[in-house]
Chain A
Amino acid sequence: MSAMPQPPVRRERLENGLTVVVASRPGVPLAAVRLLVRAGSSLDPAGRFGLAHLVAAAVRRGTRSRSGARVDAEVEALGAELGAGVDEDAASIGLTAPLEHLPRLLAVLADVATRPAFPAAEVAKLRAREVAALAHDLDEPGVVADRATIMAAYGAHPYGHPSEGRGKHLAAVRRADLLAFHARHWRPSRATLLVVGPVDAEATLDLVRRHLGGWRGAAGGEVEIVPPAPQPSGVVLVDRPDLTQVQLRIAAPGFARGAGDHAAGVVAGAVLGGGFTSRLMEAIRVERGLSYGVRARFASGRSGGLFFVSSFTKVESAGELARVALDELHRFREGGPTEEELGRVRGFLGGLYPLSLETHEAWAEKLAEVELYGLPQDEVATFLARVGAVDAEACRAVARRYLPGERRVVVAVGPAKALRPQLEPLGPVRVLKAQAVM
């Protein structure tokens, strides 16, 4: 296998604490620009779930010198679209800039991130829109299942609410909440600015220093989120009497992204639920035609994570699907992977890794992960060697420790009446209305 080209990466910490990462690589004349701030939904205050999300969405709705409409118009006239989002650990705003417009687009991005005005009228409209968007989410059974899984698997931990927030909480957010959250958490010392593309590293660093070197953040202690505690096992049914297909999830506590278990977890996840030849895909789709798809993997944040299985099937097969999946997990905990599976998965991951890093955007995401999770700077260079070193015993160990066994939550979205008898054998059942996960 040919070696994967590694772009030269310049990493610098500015005086104000902002980390800047510039990777110069050949390719299409666009540059991926991301500002990552450790201001994710795990910092949402009580009663204000969704505040971090709202802040990330609201910064672009107006700054001290630009209206929201002007930000949109200016960015889009240059052929870029500004995006914003949050997960449990971080907020990010970014765009893909035509190379010749990078200086102007970086200026707008810096303005939006560091000098948002949160105009009252814009905040009110945005808040109403986000609440309405949740209503449409409620019409997506897969989204409802994911929300219910997060809530059941993390409980009262700061990871235990969906990043998009909850309807009632969002409706209660005031402009002052946005201002306070931004001032407290959007600080250069908690942020990384990444630029990836066919750029000149020195010139780009100069540009970033010019636009973001003057960013001053409030002083204050660092906030760290404690690791999540295991939640009670059981079955959660989200009642949707009208559905003809059930969305099913099985989850158990996993590990934080920076933990030593990561490489073994990637391999175990691939054997069980990656690609078309995984054990779960074989058992559920190929052998039984129970579903169109099934995924399983470790999902890890800064402070902790989950192992989850995700699939769907017609209502009358929900019990069988859950049983087959749990049996496969049990078999893997007991026996681990075969040598043939290990070899195949190493080949698979070895080929996929360069494919997953083909674009400037993908590199920006990967380098952002390195910063967010505090990974070693040689994360990308050594990834395949670490995966290659995972043996059957390491896989079995990670499986025994984390795969859902006795400790697990099972979540199903569909007609509760038909689901209860099928899933009752798996643990105490709790029935929720769909609105309860909003």
Chain B
Amino acid sequence: MTRPATPAARVIDLDAVRASTLPNGLRLRVLREAGSPTVSYATFFQVGSRNERPGTTGISHLFEHMMFNGAAKYGPKEFDRVLEARGGHSNAYTSNDLTVYYEDFAASALATVVDLESDRMRSLRIDDGALEQEREVVKEERRLRTDNSVFGLMEEQLESLVFQAHPYRWPVIGWMDDIQRISRADCEAFFRSAYAPSNAAVYVVGDVEPEAVERLVGEAYGDIPAGPPPAPVPAGEPEQRGERRAEIRFPAQAPALLMGWRAPAARDADTAALDLAQVCLATGESSRLRRTLVHGSGLAVSINASFGWRIDPGVFMIFAELAPGARPARVEAAVAAELGRLAARGPSAAELRRARALLRSAVLHELGTHHGLAHALGQAEGLLGDWREAGRQLEHYAAVSAADVRRVVARWLAPERRSVVTLVPEGGR
């Protein structure tokens, strides 16, 4: 028989993380991992589309682009040139909750990276030319990921159904009209408040000496002034009292279905059980929905579930690409039936073991690189308020019972709480 996956094993030695905070509020967490001669350096700003206001939606993301256009010491185009020449590469991403910059590089480039990152936090240049150019780039990004993408269109529609008041109702990339409207003054104000060291944390993982990192970071960032505390987020959301639906008509070959439920916040005690429910439902070919809809009836070509943890209550999604000609209503009914069964009877013991084993592999895989470790620490602190949580996931999963899974599915994924977006193929081509 299957041996149980070592359930309570801590996956990272968190005692080895050195945590400190500069007088200006910048938090620093360093983990020495000498496996390969590389370092991952991640800067997390506690800002995302959640902190935006109507009229300038998308500013967090547009601003992320502005961060690569030069500062006082390293001018325009210098950031990537200097970094790449030293054997590194850099990128960034913006989510609903966080904006993250990272560099992965050869260990010898550490001092250069600290210099580059502190330079732009201290003295970013924001000029009209750069803003106009990035505005066009971001509009292309929006055309790519949303306006000309079936899933992009559907996801945008779903979030605006699931949320009626909360800032999660608009897309991270922002509305096209707002991208066009954001001004240089908006960007300057945004930088002063959101990008102060007191709103940021730096995670350094890899082939480094922690004391040396602390010294370097202290010297480089120490004189950057702290900023004002971030404005509170209007996080209220009226209770959903019944199903919500939308239809997207788009020239497509085949229908698709996206269902969503407002799900618990990252800190909620139910998140671990919902992660396990997600795996039971649609991770792997022997998951319930793949077995029934992909390998069984063949109504779906693919089906996936996702539950991205967020600071405030987020979304649990199920997305299915349907066989051409298949009726979305039939897939919807099959998903509802499967959720109903899980809510009534819970998973079997074997199913729960399977879900834990798959999650264990996924966690180990994520923590297998310096990049993955740095981001796991940052996500844990950014969303849950404590980087130590990065090493506790498997303990949380081990503590979840079949009854817990049954309860959270019944509570969070009930039919009257769902929102449904259907893609209706239209037009010949």
Asked if residues B286 and A72 are in contact (CB atoms below 8 Å), the reply is yes
Within 8 A of B (CB), among A355-388: 355, 357-360
A275 to B80, CA, bound (A): 8
B2 cross-chain contacts in A, Cβ below 8 A:
77-78
Given contact pairs A28-B364, A240-B429, A76 touches B253 in the complex (Cβ within 8 A): no
Contacts of B122 in A (CB 8 A): none
B246 at the interface (CB under 8 A from A): no
Partner of B361, one of A79, A132, A140: A79
Residue A139 at the B interface, CB < 8 A? Answer: yes
B-contact bits for A223-266, CB 8 A (1 contact / 0 none) = 00000000000000001111111000000000000000000000
- Is there an interface contact between B3 and A359, defined as CB atoms closer than 8 Å? no
Binary contact readout A248-289 vs B (1 if CB under 8 angstroms, 0 otherwise)? 000000000000000000000000000111000010011111
The answer to whether A354 and B36 have CB atoms under 8 Å apart is yes
Task: Assess the A129–B104 pair: CB atoms within 8 A.
Answer: no
Interface-facing stretch out of B85-93, B158-166, B183-191, B269-277: B85-93
- Chain A: residues with Cβ within 8 Å of the partner, total of 74
0 or 1 for each of A123-144: is its CB under 8 Å from B? (1 = yes): 0010011001101101111000
Q: Mark B295-326, 1 if CB is under 8 A from A, else 0.
A: 10010011000000000000000000101100
Chain A residues numbered 118-169 whose CB sits less than 8 Å from any CB in chain B: 125, 128-129, 132-133, 135-136, 138-141
- Tell me the minimal C-beta distance from B277 to chain A in angstroms: 16
Which residues 195-239 of B sit at the A interface, judged by CB distance below 8 A?
Answer: 207
CB < 8 Å: which of A29, A314, A358 contacts B36? A358
Are B140 and A291 in contact, with the CB atoms below 8 A?
A: yes
Chain B residues with Cβ under 8 A from A96's Cβ?
A: 361, 365
Q: Could you tell me if A125 and B68 are in contact, using CB atoms closer than 8 angstroms?
A: no
Which of B45-53, B142-150, B327-335, B339-347 lies on the face that meets chain A? B142-150
B85 lies within 8 A of A347 (CB): yes
A94 interface residue, CB < 8 Å from B? no
The CA-CA distance from A287 to B76 in the complex, in Å, is 11
A344 lies within 8 A of B84 (CB): yes
Is B410 part of the binding interface, using a Cβ–Cβ cutoff of 8 Å? no
Interface presence of A343 (CB below 8 A) = yes
Expressed in whole angstroms, the Cα–Cα distance for A243 and B149 within the complex equals 10
- Chain A residue nearest to B370 in the complex (CB): A358
Contact indicator per residue, chain B 59-91, by CB within 8 Å of chain A (1) or not (0):
000000000100000000100110011111110
Asked whether B295 lies within 8 Å of A125 as measured between CB atoms, the reply is: yes
Q: A129-B301, A292-B141 are in contact. Are A80 and B361 (CB under 8 A)?
A: yes
B20 at the interface (CB under 8 A from A): no
B68 cross-chain contacts in A, Cβ below 8 A: 276
A3 within 8 A of B: yes
Contact of B107 among A2, A30, A239, A313 (CB under 8 A): A2
CB-based contact A243/B85 at 8 Å? no
Task: Indicate if the CB atoms of A26 and B35 lie closer than 8 Å.
Answer: yes
Judging by beta carbons under 8 Å apart, are A136 and B365 in contact? no
- Contact call A76/B285, Cβ cutoff below 8 A: yes
A204 to B287, CA, bound (A): 30
Q: In the complex, are the beta carbons of A139 and B144 less than 8 A apart?
A: no
Cβ of B132 and Cβ of A289 under 8 Å apart? yes
Of chain B, the residue at the smallest CB distance from A313 is: B140
Inter-chain contact A242/B427, CB cutoff 8 Å: yes
The interface residues of chain B lying within 8 Å CB-to-CB of A319 are none
B140 with A78: CB separation less than 8 A: no
Given A4-B37, A245-B144, A348-B84: A359 touches B361 (CB 8 Å cut-off): no
Per-position contact with A for B92-111: 1 when CB-CB < 8 Å, else 0?
A: 00000000000011111100
**Listed stretches B260-268, B351-359, B382-390; interface member:** B351-359
- Given the contacts A125-B295, A277-B77, A358-B36, A136 and B135 also touching, CB distance less than 8 Å: no
B360 within 8 A of A: yes
Q: How far, in angstroms, from A344 to B3 measured CA to CA in the complex?
A: 51
Q: Which chain B residue lies CB-closest to A81?
A: B284
A135–B358 touching, CB < 8 Å = no
B429 with A276: CB separation less than 8 A: no
A128 lies within 8 A of B364 (CB): no
Query: Does the CB pair B84–A355 fall under 8 Å?
Result: no
A352 at the interface (CB under 8 A from B): yes
Report whether A138 and B253 are in contact in the complex, using a CB–CB cutoff of 8 Å.
Answer: yes
Q: Shortest distance in angstroms between A276's beta carbon and chain B's nearest beta carbon?
A: 4
Taking CB atoms, residues of chain B closer than 8 Å to A292 are 137-138, 140-141, 144
Tell me the chain B residues, 234-260 only, with Cβ under 8 Å from chain A.
250-254, 256
Q: How far apart are the CA atoms of A32 and B148 in the complex, in Å?
A: 36
Asked whether, in the complex, the Cβ of B364 is within 8 Å of the Cβ of A29, the reply is yes
Within 8 Å of chain B (Cβ to Cβ): is A290?
Answer: yes
In the complex, whether A46 has a CB less than 8 A from a CB of chain B is: no
Q: Which A residues lie within 8 Å of B357 (CB)?
A: 76-79, 98
**Does A323 belong to the interface (CB within 8 Å)?**
no
Cβ contacts under 8 Å, B149 to chain A: 140
Report yes or no: A276 in contact with B80, Cβ–Cβ below 8 A: yes
Nearest-neighbour CB distance to chain A for B4, whole angstroms, equals: 10
Contacts of B3 in A (CB 8 A): 100-101
- Give the distance to chain A from B385, nearest Cβ to Cβ, in Å: 26
Contact with B along A20-58 (1 / 0, CB 8 A): 000000111110000000000000000000000000000
Residue B368 interfacial (CB < 8 Å): yes
B429 and A343 within 8 A (CB): no
The complex places the Cα of A314 from the Cα of B5 at a distance, in Å, of: 50
Question: Nearest residue in A to B360 (C-beta to C-beta)?
Answer: A79
Please measure, in the bound complex, the distance between the C-alpha atom of A119 and the C-alpha atom of B159, giving whole angstroms. 42
| Interface assignment of A73: CB less than 8 Å from any CB of chain B | yes
Q: A241-B429, A347-B87, A354-B106 are in contact. Are A312 and B140 (CB under 8 A)?
A: yes
User: In the complex the two chains form, what is the Cα distance from A329 to B367 in whole Å?
Assistant: 40
B interface footprint on A86-126 (CB within 8 Å = 1, 0 otherwise): 00000000001010110000000000000000000000010
- Are A68 and B254 neighbours in the complex by a CB distance under 8 Å? no
Closest to A350 in B: B87
Check A176 for interface membership: any CB of B closer than 8 A: no
Residue B27 CB within 8 A of the other chain:
no
Query: CA of A244 to CA of B139 in the docked complex: distance in angstroms?
Result: 11
A38 to B287, CA, bound (A): 31
**Inter-chain contact A344/B81, CB cutoff 8 Å:** yes
Can you list 20 A-B contacts with CB-CB less than 8 angstroms, sorted by A residue number?
A: A5-B35, A5-B36, A28-B365, A30-B364, A30-B368, A76-B357, A135-B253, A136-B253, A136-B302, A139-B252, A242-B427, A276-B68, A292-B137, A350-B87, A354-B36, A354-B37, A355-B104, A357-B36, A358-B35, A433-B429
- Since A26-B35, A289-B136 are in contact, a sample of 13 more A-B pairs with Cβ atoms closer than 8 Å, ordered by chain A residue number, is A2-B37, A27-B35, A72-B285, A76-B357, A81-B285, A276-B89, A282-B77, A289-B133, A289-B134, A314-B140, A348-B88, A357-B36, A358-B38
Return the 3 tightest CB-CB contacts between A and B, nearest first: A351-B87, A79-B357, A289-B136
